[in-house]
Amino acid sequence: MLKIYGIKNCNSMKKAFDLLNELALPYEFHDYKKQGIDTETVKVWLDQLGQDLILNKKGTTWKKLSEQEQQDALASQDNLIQALTTHTSMIKRPVIENNGVYIVGFDEEKIKALQ
């Protein structure tokens, strides 16, 4: 079963939910605003996908950090994991996992290919 990570009230998430429902693809939703996200999951994402794909530098949460906080977050993977688990809104959305394969961000073609 697909697992989709994100926060409920996000336009990209709403588009992903709508498309998954339209395609009748069952999924489990992990709301990391309510449930949080564990360091192991974030480490796997960073190891497999890289920080450029996972860290949302365009979002307001990242932009609200001071330059020093941003530099500290990027200083090491451990620091970045700490920042992402503390400020989950800095994780790009959605993250869809399908048997160890990931889609990050709303990508209609990749999601349709899950059928």
Say which of 10, 44, 74, 114 is annotated catalytic: 10
Name the DSSP class of 55.
Answer: B
CA dist 88 and 32 (Å) reads: 7
Catalytic site includes residue 30: no
Active site residues: 10
